Amino acid sequence: MSFDDFAALPEVETAAVSPDAKHFMTFQPVAGRRSVVIYSVDGGKCAFAPNDVKIDGAYWASSNNLLVLVNRVADQVFAVRRLHAHEYNWMLLVDQNCKNPRMVVPDRSGATNYGFAAEVLSRMPDERHVRVAAGKIYDLDLDTATATALSVTSGSRCDSSWHWVVDGSGKARICYQRSRSFRGVEIYARLAGSDDWVLVYSYPIDEREEKGMSFEGFSKIRTLPT
């Protein structure tokens, strides 16, 4: 199957090629639910179609592994008995045959704009590790599906970030953090050769549509658009 043949398939959202160019992946509906479908260039396909979570995105971590970002919204009961809709985020490591799903980052939850959404940051040069994030940044070993938290904070800065930007070597350069002094977002950055975080921008959360800012350009590998 050529890439053009693959892209011409019906109901294909987007396509991503594995690093060894032997597989394609895309999002397609299976039983009415958004699912990850992997095609082999030699023919054949498989689908990862969980029925208890929603698939947010996917990323080729290696030629043999796919990282799938999923979430589920559930009611949370507090001590005062109030129900609150809470979004839970997971990151799953799935084999190229769509089997053996393993949760690789501890469950981090967030119900508001400050939620700790799971995200894939960068593939490392050794091709056996990737940088992932869910509040903190983790080094993920693809062989063991073990995620080890990395220390990248400076005091209270970037200790609970909900979005990171890393450079090509996997080092954190930009972090987004809720402000401790006002209801808003603070963006910190650190320049090459320095480990110190510097506040470079902030905005009230109510003005995010007018003043919100996003950074790109450091990481060579990104998740698929969702």
pLDDT in tens, 126-165: 778 888 887 788 888 988 888 888 877 665 677 767 788 8
Q: Quote the CA–CA distance of 187 and 170 in Å, as a whole number.
A: 18
Q: Is residue 100 part of a domain?
A: yes
Asked whether residue 9 carries a pLDDT value surpassing 70, the answer given is no
pTM of the model: 0.69
Q: Is residue 113 part of a domain?
A: yes
Q: Is residue 216 part of a domain?
A: no
Q: Is residue 63 part of a domain?
A: yes
Q: Is residue 217 part of a domain?
A: no
Q: Which of 24-28, 31-35, 48-52, 81-85 has the lowest average pLDDT?
A: 81-85
Q: Is residue 139 part of a domain?
A: yes
The upper half-sphere exposure of residue 118, i.e. CA atoms within 13 Å in the direction of its Cβ, equals 27
Q: What is the pLDDT of residues 37-69, one digit of tens each?
A: 999 988 888 999 988 888 888 989 889 999 898
Q: Is residue 220 part of a domain?
A: no
The helix/strand/coil state of 210 is helix
Please give the tally of structural domains in the chain.
1
Four-point Cα dihedral 214, 218, 220, 223, nearest 10: -30
For residue 90, what are the domain limits?
Answer: 3-211
